């Protein structure tokens, strides 16, 4: 085996210098790596924080989008329901329009009747009574004719309601209303004045004629039980007060007050009778 020749001093110095340079290079590379590692560590925390913030923002946007989608869905459902309602309403309006067009006269008459008649008895209501009385009183004044009114009050009506109930009271009102309508002239009107009070307006009728009619009506109402099976109708009677133009007043208010005073006297006298306003002066 060949033995290596020892390095000379110059060669040894040269090798030493190379080693020193390599060592210096390694130190610089180590320093650069340490700086890179430190920078990477610092930026890694920042990147992680940014990623976390981005993730939170993304989750918020997802929740907001889902909420917006749910709200939009609810709005769509409401819109569909509204559209369905509008479609039905439009259909109903179309039917009403067609019905009104075909049966316009009937509907107009029916609506008019609703506005002037008492819904329970079918008699004319107080509003129509006042207009009718004013109109026909004016005619009577201009043509020097008589006009009479009869005020009626069902006797012991409150007791009937207390004993038999309000339904029985309603039946009494309806039956008496029917009787009056069928037993006066077409030119006369029968009104429900209020509660159990009734009023008949008789154009062109004298006091004597009105008194005779009132007596006939009183007897007829007293006999209602003969044709009706209802037990509570067997004791129904009515008190009546009669007043006329021009004897008992020149205005509708004066005549009405006179008839009402006569009715009050009939009640005080024992009920189930007819009293005229003239009898109040006796």
**Domain spans in the chain, listed from the N-terminal domain onward:** 12-113, 126-280
Determine the pLDDT at residue 219: 95
Those residues of the chain that have pLDDT short of 70 are 1-7, 42-44, 47, 95-96, 98-114, 225-234
Determine the pLDDT at residue 251: 96
Determine the pLDDT at residue 39: 74
Determine the pLDDT at residue 75: 81
CATH architecture of the domain with range 126-280: 2-Layer Sandwich (3.30)
Residues catalogued as catalytic: 196
Determine the pLDDT at residue 148: 98
* pTM for this entry: 0.61
Determine the pLDDT at residue 196: 92
Determine the pLDDT at residue 104: 54
Tell me the pLDDT of the chain averaged across its residues. Answer: 85
- Calpha distance 152→172 (Å, rounded): 14
């Amino acid at each position: 085996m060949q033995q290596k020749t020892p390095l000379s001093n110059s060669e040894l110095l040269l090798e030493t210098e190379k080693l020193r340079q390599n060592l210096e290079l390694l130190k610089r590379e180590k320093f650069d790596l340490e700086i890179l590692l430190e920078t990477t560590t610092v930026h890694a925390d920042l990147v992680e924080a940014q990623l976390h913030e981005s993730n939170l923002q993304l989750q918020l946007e997802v929740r907001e989008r889902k909420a917006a989608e749910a709200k939009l869905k609810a709005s769509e459902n409401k819109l569909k329901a509204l559209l369905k309602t509008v479609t039905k309403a439009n259909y109903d309006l179309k039917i009403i329009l067609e019905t009104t067009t075909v049966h316009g006269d009937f509907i107009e008459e029916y609506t008019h009747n609703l506005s002037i008649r008492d819904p329970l008895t079918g008699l004319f209501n107080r509003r129509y009574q006042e207009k009718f009385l004013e109109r026909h009183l004016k005619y009577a004044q201009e043509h020097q004719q008589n006009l009479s009114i009869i005020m009626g009050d069902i006797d012991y009506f409150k007791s009937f309601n207390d004993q038999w109930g309000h339904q029985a009271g309603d039946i009494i009102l309806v039956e008496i209303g029917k009787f009056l309508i069928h037993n006066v002239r077409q030119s006369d009107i029968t009104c429900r004045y209020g509660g159990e009070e009734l009023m008949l307006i008789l154009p062109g009728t004298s006091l004597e004629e009105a008194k005779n009619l009132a007596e006939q009506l009183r007897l007829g109402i007293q006999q209602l039980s003969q044709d009706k099976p209802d037990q509570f109708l067997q004791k129904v009677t009515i008190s009546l007060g009669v007043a006329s133009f021009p004897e008992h007043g020149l205005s509708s208010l004066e005549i009405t007050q006179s008839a009402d005073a006569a009715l009050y006297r009939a009640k005080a006298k024992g009920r189930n009778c007819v009293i005229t306003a003239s009898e109040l002066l006796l």
